[in-house]
Every structure is written in structure tokens, then in C-alpha cells.
Amino acid sequence: MRKPFLLKILLAAVLLLSNSSFANVKEDTSDEPKKDLKTEIKEYINHHLQDSHDFSLFSYTNDTGEHVYIGSSLPVILWDNGLKVFSSSKFHHGETLAEVDGNYYKLYHSKIYKTNAEGAINYDEDHHPTNTKPIDFSITKNVVMIIVTGLLMLWLFTSLARSYTKNNGVPTGMGRFFEPIVLYIRDDIARPNIGEKRYRKYMPFLLTIFFFIWFLNMFGLTPLGINVTGNIAITFSLAIMTFFITNLTGTKDYWMHQFNPLGDSMPWYAKIPLYIILVPIEMLGLFIKPFSLLIRLYANMQAGHIVLMSLIGLMFIFKSWLGSPLSFALAFAISLIEILVALLQAYIFTMLSALYFGFASEEHEHEHEEDAELAHS
Amino acid sequence: MEKLINEFSIGLFFWQTLLFGLLLFLLWKFAWKPILNAVNDREDGIKDALAAAENAKKEMQNVTADSEKLLKEARAERESLLKEARGIKDKLIAESKEQAKVEGDKMIKQAQATIESEKKAAVADIKNQVAELSVDIAEKVIKEQLSNKDKQLKLVDDMLGDIKLN
């Protein structure tokens, strides 16, 4: 009873403090008259949606008008004619240039550019920087969160596994919460979509991907300002794994279906004109399936964060007794929906991955399978 | 699309793939495999236990049916035994009655025959004794009556008188 209460207070404190950073940003506007509050909030949201080279919990402007960031800096790893490793504190949150081995790097919109000693950024006509970008292997905020989530999952599920041996096949503690979810993924996602015979080999991937996405989605809802699953590189990586597993475990029947979708239902000369269209579509489908996965997860999480943060931002724009509580209530309602979306997106990603694995590993009854595909789409 | 490509970070992709792969491997080995095995074992155990319970129930039913059958048989046997015993008893009684009657009749007949012969003997005896007594009496009477001359003469007279009457 005591622990959750403490946790709540802590969360509330973090929430208040992170909001207060908004308030301070607003005060900041007096220094830069060109930026109004709305642009400021928009930039803040954009900044939040992107990966960051620092793990800053919140920032504020102190009495002397200086920006103070609370959090820790992270290691920056660059490949620029050799490995360059230095701390992100050298950037001072993009305020200064980092000089490493005689090269100058500038942090501009969360990306690292190589610049001259003055830190000049050259733009093309579309206002995109033309400076060279070294390949950035930094341990960013998202990488830290991936590690944290990974460790959390390892701890949770190895302790669940241990509790079986310790307690004679019955889970204890947290395991009682997670075991039904594991069983749900097995019985309601893997088994019906992949089939009784072959579902076992896909189970570890499905379980890992489900909990990984779910936990990261939930972390995204905390006021820590994390947006891992709303990052295109993350969803791309997850989707490409589904793509490779689908096609590498594909059976002969699966590939036959790709190149000969109509089977023996008509003579070969009748199939030629159809196949000129059908086969490319089938081939395209191979890539569209994982692509839809990556865009769906990315867009949902990104949109959720934008809506939620915009509503929180509205409180500071309205600054009235009517508008602010209203946007607070809205933000609260959206937060609740986002908790559902966090679970739902993890479920959909896992479900569709299982469905694709099911198509790939199916060995008989093609007609039956296609009916299932139609029913699901 | 351009924004998406612009946002794409190779470094993050690299770390994500590497870390996720590592996480997948570790969880596979140390979590999912033992968890799924434990769950499967448990489910198999439950299935077996249910099957065993079902079997036990069936066996129980068989046993009950058997015992009921036995009970029925025993009851029928008792019934038939009782019937038989009753029949034997009745037969015995009837037989002994018959025998007793025959025996009695025989005894009665024997007794009657004995009585008859005894009676005959007794009657003969009595007859003899009566004859002897009569002779004795007659002797005594005669002796009495013929003790003196007068009487003897009178008798002769009487007798002669009787004869005349005849």
C-alpha cells in the first residue's frame, strides 16, 4: 500500500516539474520576441517526438536567465573517418559546438552535423542543412530506454520462469499478472493464426515483440518524455524482423502461392496475362505487409504523443478558468485512451505478425487460408 | 515520406536490432522456454489428471454395477434357497405325517389283534374256570344234599318227580 502511494507522489512531482518547464519556456519568450507561445510549444513537442542525445527529465530557466537541464548526458558515438566517442555534455544541449580530434560537431534539431570552427550550418533551398552528417551510433535516450525495457523484461520473465520451478508449476507475485497474458498470446494469437503444429517456434518472437512494444508504449505515457515506439527506426527494425522471419520460414507452398497464386485452376496459357499483373502484386504484398506494420505503430504512437502534448500545451495557451480545466480534462481522457492504444498497438503488431507467420508456414489448404486472410483484412 | 526518411536514424536502427536480437535470445533461453515448458507440463498434468478422474469414475460405475448385479444375484439365490427349503419342509412334514399314520394304523391293527387273541384266551380261561367252579360247586352242593339218607331220598324223589312232569 505504501509503495504505490510513494510512486504516485513521485510521478505527480515529475509531472508537475515537467509542466513547470513549459511555464518557464513561456517566460523565455521575452528574450526572443519573434517566437510566440504557440511556436514554442510546437517546437517543444517536435523536440520531444525526436530522439535525444541527453536523458533530460526537465529543464527550467533560473534567475539569471540561464537554461538549466536536469538529467544526465549520454555517450555520443560517431563514425567519421574513425570512431569518435565523447559525452553529449560537450554539446550543452545544442548550445555549443563539440570539438573532438580537431573536428567540430553541432547538434541541430537533434541531429549531429559536422561544421567548421564557427559552427555554421549551410542550408539548401528547402531549408535542409547541407552539412555532412557523420554516422551516429550514439547511445541516445531511446537506446537507453530500450536497454531499460530489456532489463525489465529479463527480470520480470526470468523471475516468472523461476517461480515455476520454485513453486511447483504455479506462478507467484507478478507472474500471476503476466502468465495469463503469455497464455493469451499463445492461445488466442499464435495458435489460431499459425496452427497447432507450428506455432511453437514463433512463440518466443511473438512474446518478446508484444511485451517489448507494450512496455515501451507504456513508458511513452510516463512524463519522462520518451517516444521509442513512435520512432521510425524502431518500428522499421521491428517490422523488418517480422519480414525476415516470415520469408525465411516460408514453406514451399508459401512460395508457390507467391509465384503461382491461381494454382492449377486453369491452363498455363490462360494464366500468363493474369500473372503479368498478379505476380507483381503478390511480390509487392510481401513488402507492403511489414511496411503497414511499421507505419501503423509509428503513426499511432506519434499521433498519440502529439495529441496528448498539444492538449497539455493548450492549458498554457488558454490560461483561463474555463479553457485550461477543459483541456486538462481532455488531456486526461486522451491519456486513458492512450493507455488502451498502447496495449492495442502491441496486440495488433503481434497479431498481424502471427498472421503473416501463419501464411508463411501453412502447408496445405490454400483456399481455406485465403478465406481466413479475407476475413481478417 | 521525406520527413520519415529524414527522421530515420541508422544508429538507432542498429542499436534497436542488436539489442532486440539480444533480448530475444536471452528471453528465449531463460524465460520463454522454461515458462512455456512449465505451462505445457502443467496443462498436460491437468489433462492427465482429468483423464484419470474420468477413468476412475467409469471404473467406479463399473464396480457399482457389478456389486449391484452381485447383490441381485445373491437376493435371487436367497429367494430360491428359501423356496426350496420351504418345499423340503412341506414335503418332510407330509412324508412324516404319512409315515406316522401308516405306523399308527399298523400298531392299532397289531394291538387289536393282540387284544382279540388275549380276549379269546381270557374267555377260554374263564370258561374253564367257570366249568371247574361249577363242577366244584355242584360237587359241594351234591355233597351237602346227599349227606344224609333223607335228603338223598328226597332228591331222588324230586328228580323222579321232574321226570314225570316231563
Burial class (CB in 10 A: 0-12, 13-18, 19+), A119: middle
DSSP B1-52: -HHHHHH--HHHHHHHHHHHHHHHHHHIIIIIHHHHHHHHHHHHHHHHHHHH
Confidence of residue A291 (pLDDT cuts 50, 70, 90): very high
What is the maximum span of chain A, computed from C-alpha positions, in angstroms? Answer: 83
Please name which of A145, A134, A31 lies closest in space to residue A80, comparing C-alpha atoms.
A134
What average pLDDT score do residues B55-74 get?
Answer: 95
Q: Which residue of B has its CA nearest to A110?
A: B7
Which has more pLDDT, A89 or B112?
B112
Q: Which residue of B has its CA nearest to A46?
A: B7
State how far the Cα of B93 lies from the Cα of B102, in Å rounded to an integer.
14
The yes-or-no verdict on residue A246 having pLDDT over 80 is yes
Contact A157 B32 (CB under 8 A): yes
Q: How many other CB atoms sit within 10 Å of the CB of residue A34?
A: 6
Which has more pLDDT, A238 or A268?
A238
Q: Which residue of A has its CA nearest to B16?
A: A234
The yes-or-no verdict on residue A42 having pLDDT over 90 is no
What average pLDDT score do residues A158-171 get?
Answer: 84
Is-contact A257 A273, C-beta < 8 A? no
Burial class (CB in 10 A: 0-12, 13-18, 19+), B118: exposed
Q: How many other CB atoms sit within 10 Å of the CB of residue A126?
A: 6
The answer to whether B116 faces chain A, any CB pair under 8 Å, is: no
Contact A169 B41 (CB under 8 A): yes
Q: Which of B19, B26, B38 sits opposite A146 (nearest CB)?
A: B19
Gap from A132 CA to chain B (nearest CA, Å): 14
State how far the Cα of A50 lies from the Cα of A32, in Å rounded to an integer.
23
pTM score of the predicted model: 0.72
| pLDDT tens readout for residues A325-370 | 888 899 999 999 999 999 999 999 999 999 999 988 877 654 555 5
Q: Which of A186, A203, A236 sits opposite B8 (nearest CB)?
A: A236
Confidence of residue A261 (pLDDT cuts 50, 70, 90): confident
Q: Which of B15, B36, B42 sits opposite A203 (nearest CB)?
A: B36
Of A116-130, A185-199, A229-243, B99-113, the poorest mean pLDDT is in A116-130
Amino acid at A341: V
CB-side exposure of B13: number of CA atoms within 13 Å?
15
Gap from A154 CA to chain B (nearest CA, Å): 6
Q: What is the ipTM of this complex?
A: 0.78
pLDDT at A1: 43
Q: Which residue of B has its CA nearest to A186?
A: B36
What average pLDDT score do residues A202-210 get?
Answer: 94
| B15: chain A residues, CB-CB within 8 Å | 137, 139, 143, 146
The answer to whether B7 faces chain A, any CB pair under 8 Å, is: yes
| pLDDT tens readout for residues A316-331 | 888 788 888 888 899 9
Burial A312-322, CB ≥16 within 10 A → b, else e: bbbbbbeeeee
The yes-or-no verdict on residue A85 having pLDDT over 90 is no
How high does pLDDT run on average in chain B? 89
| pLDDT tens readout for residues B74-102 | 999 999 999 999 999 999 999 999 999 99
Residue A299: C-alpha distances to residues A76, A342, A350 (Å): 28, 12, 17
State how far the Cα of A124 lies from the Cα of A90, in Å rounded to an integer.
27
* Count of A-B CB contacts under 8 Å: 123
Q: Which residues contact B23 (CB under 8 A, 6 or more apart)?
A: A150, A153, A154, A208, A212
State how far the Cα of A198 lies from the Cα of A189, in Å rounded to an integer.
13
pLDDT at A340: 94
